[in-house]
């Protein structure tokens, strides 16, 4: 199967300019996590902050009632996540997927929440998870897509599986020489083909800020995609940097 589409990169991290304000241009989105926030704010306050700062996209890691109610009629585009531990049940039971979509998607869309994407799991193929979701992630993705179609939302809301960068490996040490990890390559090709068939995006979580913090030799050109160094001059450090590993930052806003 040929990769016959240009990978759609979405949900860019919030970029801060030198003065602390939002840097203009591009797509601005943030992750809004409820479980790991050290100083949780009320959902209405968070939404007010998002709007004041021109943030037009937000990713929720679960279907939390408070944030979803606060996002009603704001126009803010939402990627709504479901947790990895839900994948086996949704993979095995189409009715469970239909009920989840009805309760967590349809009801909020009808109430004015601009849900545009469903993140089916979060980095379920991390090597540190020891294959726990290799058998369930793709069937869950298919069932959630089928449930969205049954709800009449198949063209409006797209499914995706957010991947960690460790789903990728490079035989040459350069990004251009990369491919999916051998143990998940066939699975990923099937997933990518399914996403393409449904006009859905491939989503990859990368954390250059962690790499820059942990490794003073991290190639800044790779971190921000705007440098001029040749790949050969930075290839060695690129293959050794922490963003290729499984470290994940707090999801608190």
pLDDT at 10: 34
Looking at residue 224, its pLDDT comes to 65
List, as one string, the DSSP characters of the chain.
----S------PPP-B-TTSSBPPSS--EEEEBSSS-SS---HHHHHHHHHHTT--EEEESS--HHHHHHTTTS--EEEEEE-GGGHHHHHH-HHHHHHHHIIIIIHHHHTT-EEEEEEESSSTT-GGGTTTTTTTHHHHHHHHHHHHHHTT-TTTSEEE-EEEGGGEEESSSSGGGEEE-GGGHHHHHHHHHHHHHTT---EEE--HHHHHHH-TTS-HHHHHS-----HHHHHHHHHTSGGGS------B-
Is residue 48 flagged as an active site residue? no
pLDDT score at 148: 98
Residue whose C-alpha is closest to residue 82's, from 74, 90, 92: 90
Residue-level pLDDT at 67: 95
Domains of the chain: 29-205 (3.20.20.80)
Task: Return the C-alpha torsion angle 83, 88, 93, 94, nearest 10.
Answer: 50
Structure tokens at 122: 């979060």
Q: What is the pLDDT of residue 205?
A: 86
Rounded distance between C-alpha atoms, residue 213 and residue 52, angstroms: 29
Give DSSP secondary structure letters for 86-133. Answer: GHHHHHH-HHHHHHHHIIIIIHHHHTT-EEEEEEESSSTT-GGGTTTT
* pLDDT value of residue 168: 86
Tokens 């995706």 found at: 160
User: Which pairs count as long-range contacts for 173-179, CB under 8 Å and 24+ apart, including other chains?
Assistant: 173/235, 173/236, 173/238, 173/239, 174/231, 174/232, 174/235, 174/238, 175/222, 175/231, 175/238, 176/231
Catalytic residue among 65, 123, 127, 193: 123
pTM of the model: 0.77
pLDDT 10s per residue in the chain (253 long)? 333 333 333 333 333 333 333 444 456 788 888 776 677 889 999 999 999 988 999 999 999 999 999 999 999 999 999 999 999 999 999 999 999 999 999 999 999 999 999 999 999 999 999 999 999 999 999 999 999 999 999 999 999 999 998 898 877 766 677 889 999 999 999 999 999 999 999 998 887 777 777 777 777 766 665 655 555 443 333 333 322 222 333 334 4
């Amino acid at each position: 199967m040929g990769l016959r589409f240009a990978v759609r990169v979405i949900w860019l991290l919030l970029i801060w300019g030198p003065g602390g304000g939002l840097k203009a241009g591009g797509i601005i989105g943030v992750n809004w996590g409820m479980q790991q926030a050290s100083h949780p704010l009320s959902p209405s306050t968070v939404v007010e902050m998002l709007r004041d700062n021109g943030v037009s996209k937000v990713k929720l890691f679960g279907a939390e009632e408070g944030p979803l109610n606060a996002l009603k009629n704001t126009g803010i585009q939402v990627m709504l996540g479901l947790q990895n531990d839900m994948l086996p049940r949704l993979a095995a039971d189409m009715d469970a997927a239909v009920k989840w979509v009805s309760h967590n998607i349809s009801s909020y869309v009808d109430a004015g929440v601009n849900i545009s994407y469903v993140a089916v799991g979060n980095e379920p193929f991390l090597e540190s998870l020891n294959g726990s979701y290799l058998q369930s992630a793709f069937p869950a993705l298919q069932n959630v897509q089928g449930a969205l179609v049954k709800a009449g939302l198949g063209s409006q809301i797209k499914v995706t599986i957010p991947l960690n960068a460790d789903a990728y490996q490079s035989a040459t040490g350069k990004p251009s020489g990369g491919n999916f990890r051998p143990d998940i390559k066939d699975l990923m090709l099937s997933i990518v083909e399914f996403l393409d068939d449904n006009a859905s995006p491939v989503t990859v979580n990368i954390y250059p800020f962690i790499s820059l913090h942990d490794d003073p030799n991290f190639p800044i050109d790779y971190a921000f995609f705007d440098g001029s160094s040749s790949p050969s001059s930075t290839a060695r450090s690129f293959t050794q940097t922490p963003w290729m590993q499984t470290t994940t930052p707090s999801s608190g806003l």
